[in-house]
Amino acid sequence: MKLKKRNVFIGITSFLIVLFTMPLGHALMILMEHLMEPVTMHYATFFMGLIGLIMVITGVFAKGDTQQTLWGLFGSLLFWTGWIEFIYVYYAHRFGVQPLIVDGEVVTKPEYLIMPSSFGFWIMFMLLYLFNIKSGCDFFNYLQRVFFRNSKVQVEMRPMTRHTSLVTFMELNLILWTNYMVLLFCYDDNFIGDRHPITALVAFGCLVGSLFMFRRLINISQWGYALRFSIATVVVFWTFVEVMGRWNAFHEIWVEPMTYQSEMITIFLAFIVLVTFLWYKSIKNKKTL
């Protein structure tokens, strides 16, 4: 397939915007935990989640696919951080959940030790998407073809009322949730273990999968669609990054943002430049699809 320079630019830019949110999100959590008093932090994160929710709803009424996607993306990031991750932090600390320590080093924080308890809720959402919703996810589309192609039971697949901001919101939250569930079960020695060949297969399988997804991404010609596709591409790729970090294959600078201030500031500034550019483009062309 012949690549167009504009599509490649759109794909790479979208990928980088979403990619930069990963280390910046980690760094934000670390900074808040270290610089704020616990009570102040919990109030701050509550309002962070609330602001994220308001941003997603604002995106429903925004004009243009790209702006709606941006509202949904950043709103869901704040929502995930404030009302999901930090909620686990709050209850883990409140009830004295201890971190997993190996050789004197914390390898899994308390909040992540209790997150797999949400498995049943995750299955609820998966059933909803599998049996009732026509989505743009290739994986769900494949499963629906396999399960329902010759089914004698009438199953109607209907697209949900399409609010791009809400679609982006659900996509980011569900794929992040899935990513955490997979990794946490892989890391758990009672199930698999972080050095097990299955964990390695998951990691390198995600790396290969993300490369195929990236190939498709750089053929997309619409900014909004490219951003939404980048969410899945980045999170799948980040699964590999997380496992490599767990294996100490490289140093995760976002875990020590105060030590690596120059690097983190550079990432942050690059992120701001890219987002500003894209927001300007979306305002300039309200009819972007």
Report pLDDT digits (tens) over 234-256: 999 999 999 999 999 999 999 99
Task: Tell me which residue has tokens 């062309």.
Answer: 285
80-136 pLDDT, tens per residue? 999 999 999 999 999 999 999 888 888 899 999 999 999 999 999 998 888 877 777
**Mean pLDDT score, 190-206:** 96
Dump pLDDT digits (tens) for 18-75: 999 999 999 999 999 999 999 999 999 999 999 999 999 999 999 889 999 999 999 9
Say how far apart CA 228 and CA 248 lie, in whole Å: 30
Distances (CA, A) of 277 to 83, 206, 219, 263, 284: 29, 30, 20, 21, 11
Element (H, E) at 106: strand 105-108
Q: Is 278 exposed, middle or buried (0-12, 13-18, 19+ CB in 10 A)?
A: buried
Residues β-bridged to residue 101: 106
pTM score of the predicted model: 0.92
Question: What pLDDT score was predicted for residue 161?
Answer: 60
- pLDDT of 272 > 60? The answer is yes
Q: Residue 12: what residue type? A: I
CA dist 259 and 270 (Å) reads 19
